[in-house]
Amino acid sequence: MDEVRIEVQCNSCKGTGVYRGFTERPGFGAVCNDCKGSGKAIIKYIPFTGRKEIGDIKFVYYSGGIPYSKDGADNREKGAISYKEFLMGSMPSHPKE
């Protein structure tokens, strides 16, 4: 999917291109640093078209700082599930102490 770009109003200056903070004296405005005075910002995003797969994942778990073994011997006891199960819609359990 191609990246989509949309023009939105600059948040910093509310679309004016001019910024007035508490250092600006009355009657003065500074060119907005974020939009360089244009008043606009551009948001880039890629529309979600479905979860993608990773080729070399075997297990999925919630990160919790506990070690998982490479061969997966006791990973299930710790809450991990196979990547295949994850792809089928299952979710791992939160790590057990």
Q: Give the contacts of 56 (CB within 8 A, at least 6 positions apart).
A: none
Q: How far is the CB of 12 from Zn ion (least distance, A)?
A: 5
Rule CB under 5 A: is residue 24 a binding residue for Zn ion?
no
Determine contact, residues 36/12, Cβ cutoff 8 Å: no
Rule CB under 5 A: is residue 60 a binding residue for Zn ion?
no
For residue 28, give the DSSP letter: -
Contacting residue, 7, 24, 34, 74, with Zn ion by CB under 5 A: 34
Enumerate binding residues for Zn ion (CB under 5 A): 10, 12-13, 32, 34-35
